[in-house]
Amino acid sequence: MGKWRRGLPRGLQNRVYVNLGIGLPTQVARHAPAGIEVWLQSENGMLAIGPFPTADAIDAVLINAGKQTVTTLSGSSIFGSHDSLARMRGGKINLSILGAMRVSAAGDDPGQDESRTWAARWGWSPACHAC
């Protein structure tokens, strides 16, 4: 089991809202501990993400931030990425799991330069730092 999966139980508590970035974070839905209720949000604007679909249930319109097809759960909401960011900045998200490409080997954010000003980079990293 990878280190990232061993750390999941500490962050995935019962009844929390979790924002998932691209890359490994999209796998959280497969590894959430049994018996807890967690609402997963995709950075591109979907709350209450369900598991990855079976081959016969793929809906190409329902995608996560990593462009993988997903399913929805009862009560799911679909909204713009600007609302996703607003939920993070507004304190409505309990935990945000960022993709590894957004963290350097030293554990800092490569979206910042040495003067700690924001460099021009893609992704949600700067927005999450503001949260």
> What phi and psi, each to the nearest 5 degrees, are found at residue 63?
-130, 155
> Could you give the CA distance from residue 28 to residue 21 in angstroms, rounded to a whole number?
10
37 is catalytic: no
Q: Which of 118, 37, 124, 111 is nearest to 84 (CA)?
A: 124
User: Which tokens belong to 26?
Assistant: 């999209």
Query: Are 68 and 26 a contacting pair, CB within 8 Å?
Result: yes
Could you say which of 19, 39, 43, 46 is catalytic? 43
> Could you give the CA distance from residue 112 to residue 21 in angstroms, rounded to a whole number?
18
SS3 (DSSP) at 8 = helix
> What are the residue numbers of the active site?
43
